[in-house]
Amino acid sequence: MCTHGTIEEAFCVSPGKRESVFSDMMENIGVFVDQNGKLLQADRICWSEAPIAVIIQKPYAIALLPRRVEVRSLRVPYALIQTIVLQNVRHLIPSSNAVVVALENSIFGLFPVPLGAQIVQLTASGDFEEALALCKLLPPEDASLRAAKEGSIHI
């Protein structure tokens, strides 16, 4: 970020161990590889169209497609979670708590709905398996919340 002629660090950058998704840009298939290109698992993500870019924002994979942004679960069978229709998207940029979507003349932030709220929404819509999977992602300090959410799903 440039402010009054000075440069400030906007994001922390570190070369940690990472997994990534490789997508064949001519096809709509994505596979998980490590930093050396080694296949991590046999399962594949099937996007609606060939993605231009893919980023991981656990527990989701987010793809920039020609006419939209597609959000898929990182759990097999990689269910489609959300489709966001935006015109002229140029870049998807991951940050610590959001995904920045850069368009031709504007910028949007995609902020995840808190896990507790997602669990309530999934339970209300009858997607109990996905709701239980998200319960497991609640931090250890939320053990009582996790137990309450899991209990309400099993009723």
Number of residues that make up the chain: 155
Number of domains in the chain: 2
Which pLDDT belongs to residue 7? 39
Average pLDDT, the chain: 76
Domain membership flag for residue 101: no
pLDDT tens, residue by residue, 3-33: 343 334 434 344 444 555 555 545 777 766 7
Domain membership flag for residue 50: yes
Q: How far apart are CA 20 and CA 102, in angstroms?
A: 21
Domain membership flag for residue 41: yes
With vertex at residue 106, the alpha carbon angle to CA 104 and CA 108, rounded to the nearest 5 degrees, is 120
Say yes or no: 64 and 18 in one domain: yes
CATH of the domain at 77: 2.40.10
- How many Cα atoms within 13 Å fall on the side-chain side of residue 39? 7
pLDDT tens, residue by residue, 103-124: 888 888 888 888 888 888 888 8
Question: Is residue 77 over pLDDT 60?
Answer: yes
Which pLDDT belongs to residue 11? 40
Domain membership flag for residue 93: no
The pTM of this model reads: 0.68
